[in-house]
Structure 1
Amino acid sequence: MPHAAGSGGPSRSASAIVADTVRGYHVLRIDGYSLTKGTPTGEYIKSHPFTVGGHRCYIKYYPNGNKPEVKDYISFFLYHDGAPTKEVKAQFQFHFVSEVPKKPLTLEDVNIFDGQSSWGYTKLIQRTELEKSEHLKDDSFAVRCDIVVVNDFRAVEEEAEVVTPVLVDVPPSDLHQHLGDLLLTEKGCRCGV
Structure 2
Amino acid sequence: MPRMRASTSLCTPSVVRGTHTFKIVGYNLQRGIGVGRYLSSTPFNISGYFWRIEYYPDGEMEMKHGDYASISLDFASTNSEVRASFEVRLVDQAKKLAPLVVLSQNMPIVFRTHPPTYVGKDFLQPWAYLQDDSLVIECDITVVEESKVAVTATSFKIQVPPSDLSNNLGELLKAGEETDVMFEVRGEIFHAHKIVLAMRSPVFKADLFGRKGDRTRRIMNIKDIQPPIFRALLHFIYTDSLPSMGHLDGDDGEEMVKHLIMAADRYAMARMKVICESILCKNLNVQNVTTILALANEHHCNHLKNACLEFITSPDRIHDVVASEGYAQLKRSRPAIIVDIFERATKSCKI
Q: TM-score range by the shorter chain?
A: 0.5 to 0.7
1:35-92 residue CA offsets vs partner (Å, 9 max, x unmatched): 11111000111111111110122211111111224883221212122433x3221111
Structure-2 separation of matches of 1:154 and 1:82: 24
Q: Which has the higher helix share?
A: 2
Bigger relative contact order, structure 1 or 2, given CA contacts below 8 A and separation 6+? 1
Is 1:79 the counterpart of 2:77 in the alignment? no
- State whether residues 77 and 113 of structure 2, in contact with CA within 8 Å, keep that contact through their aligned partners in structure 1: no
1:45-60 equivalences under 5 Å are: 45-60=39-54
Aligned match for 1:23, one of 2, 17, 29? 17
Shift of 1:110: 2.2
* Equivalence for 1:156: 150
> In the TM superposition, what is the alpha-carbon distance from 1:118 to its structure 2 partner?
4.0
CA drift of 1:119 comes to 4.0
Q: Which runs of 5+ in 1 are unaligned?
A: 159-193
Deviation of 1:114 (Å): 3.9
Q: Which residue of 2 aligns with 1:12?
A: 6
Matched, 1:90 2:84: yes
Q: How has the CA–CA distance of structure 1 residues 12 and 116 changed in structure 2, closer, same or farther, with 3 Å as cutoff?
A: same
Residue 83 of structure 2 contacts residue 108 of structure 2 at CA under 8 Å; is this kept in 1? no
Residue of structure 2 in register with 1:163 after alignment = none
> Structure 1: how far apart are the matches of 2:10 and 2:89?
32
What residue in structure 2 maps to residue 183 of structure 1? none
TM-score, L = length of structure 2:
0.37
How far off its partner does 1:34 sit?
Answer: 0.6
Residue correspondences, number: 144
Q: For the aligned residues, what is the CA RMSD?
A: 2.6
Aligned with 2:107: secondary structure? coil
State the alpha-carbon separation in 2 of the partners of residues 35 and 114 from structure 1: 33
* TM-score normalised by structure 1 residue count: 0.64
Q: Where does residue 59 of structure 2 map in the other structure?
A: 65
More strand by share: 1
User: Which of residues 25, 29, 33 is equivalent to 1:39?
Assistant: 33
TM-superposed deviation, 1:100: 4.5
* 1:75–1:120 contact (8 Å) kept in structure 2: no
